[in-house]
A and B are shown apart, each in its own frame.
Chain A
């Protein structure tokens, strides 16, 4: 199993540009999440999904959109990039049931100029 994969690994955008961060998992997990990691702030939840066709907002959803058309894929879209969105983005997935830990992708480092 490849686990959780993310592309691209690095990206530089100009303010106002849009882009999609890709996330895929091959573990048939129902739950998928997007986090951003900023120094001293740990990981903050952006959006999450409990299954195909179902998404919801996390702690910091503004400026981001998600969709979940398949179990495997959970892309994160930046609509109009801003310097405040410079961060490292992690996608995670976990199975259903009691106390299943999250599995993380390797991350995407995004810089918005």
Chain B
């Protein structure tokens, strides 16, 4: 079985500051990990995915995430927050063929001017 926890339901950062959104997973099979972003009143859009090819994954809009097996983590970072980054972010885990695709509860990111 797989599960995802996201520490902090709401994170606030100042514009230009580092963004760090935390994701920890539990998986009985080699995990495949995803970060999705949801802007207000929209569907989910893929930011990046970990497919075991490289532990540091670069995504869209300047985001990246690092897979750390020893810590069972896949934290999302961005060096400098922009106002347009304000959204809800979901971490998700699945097996290699998409079985048991499970989402975390989400973290709402606010960016302060």
Tell me the A residues contacting B by CB distance below 8 Å. 4, 31, 33, 35, 40-43, 45, 90, 92, 94, 96-107
Contact = CB atoms under 8 A, between A and B. Distances in A.
A31 B43 CA distance: 18
B82 interface: no
A43 B106 CA distance: 9
Contacts, number: 51
Contacts of B46: 101-103
A100 B32 CA distance: 10
A43 B90 contact: yes
A42 B106 contact: yes
A100 B101 CA distance: 11
Nearest to B43: A104
Given A99-B51, A99-B94, A107-B42, 12 more contacts: A40-B106, A42-B105, A94-B98, A98-B96, A99-B96, A100-B98, A101-B34, A102-B98, A102-B101, A104-B45, A105-B43, A106-B43
Interface string B9-49: 10000000000000000000000101010000111111001
